[in-house]
Structure 1
Amino acid sequence: MSASLSVGARDLPRTAARRVADGLALAAAPTFALMAILVGAGGSDVGQMLCAGEQGLQIGGMTVMYMLMSVFHLTPWLRLIQSGKREAA
């Protein structure tokens, strides 16, 4: 019996670590999307924006990078949505 308890005790930290990793994976895409919006909306110098007459989002280097990173990190969300559809059916 002690062997089964030790195996279960060993799996507990692994399960907790897995939950943390899953949570971080789900947090990545929205975080990068928010960073893309923030950099795009306020990435330019205010003086340059006023003088150049530019309006709206500034789609440039870092904004594009954050948008791509957000897209690449959508996989955990797609898996979550897919598993929800399977459970509902």
Structure 2
Amino acid sequence: MSETQAVTRGSASNSRDNGTTAIISAADFLYLAAAPTFAIMALLTSVFGGGSLDALCGASPLSGMVPMYLLMSAFHLAPWLKLLSQRRNSVRRC
């Protein structure tokens, strides 16, 4: 009977590990999705308008949605830079 309980516990822990792995994978995807998403939003906002007309009246070039999206994209580049540095390090080790 103790062997049956051990097998049952083992399979339960494997299912929990699979669930945790799936959550971590989803979090990693979201972690990498921010920078490209903000860059696309900046591009779409600049192409299809949506910017303010204040730029024509001498307002700061950093005002408006496009610069904000570009700055947000730049601030979220850290995961991409970390991923690239890890890949370069793994290539150098081989």
Q: Which residue of 34, 42, 57 corresponds with 2:48?
A: 42
Note the alpha carbon deviations across 1:49-80, whole angstroms, 9 max, x for none.
xxx7xxxxx86411111111111111111111
Quick check: 1:66 aligned with 2:66? Answer: no
Code of the residue aligned with 2:90 in structure 1: it is E
- TM-score using structure 1 length: 0.73
Q: Contact between 2:39 and 2:69, CA under 8 Å: does it hold in 1?
A: yes
Q: Number of paired residues? A: 79
Q: Equivalent pairs: percent with the same residue?
A: 42
Alignment match of 2:78 (pick from 71, 75, 81) = 75
Displacement of 1:19 in angstroms is: 0.7
- The structure that has the greater radius of gyration is 2
Residues 38 and 72, structure 2, Cα contact 8 Å, conserved in 1:
yes
CA distance in 1, matches of 2:68, 2:25: 28
Highest RCO, 1 vs 2 (Cα 8 Å, sep ≥ 6): 1
Q: Which amino acid aligns with 1:6?
A: A
| Unpaired stretches in structure 1, ≥5 consecutive residues | 53-57
Instruction: Normalising by structure 2, report the TM-score.
Output: 0.69
Q: Which residue of 1 aligns with 2:34?
A: 28
Report if the CA contact (8 A) 2:62-2:68 is conserved: no
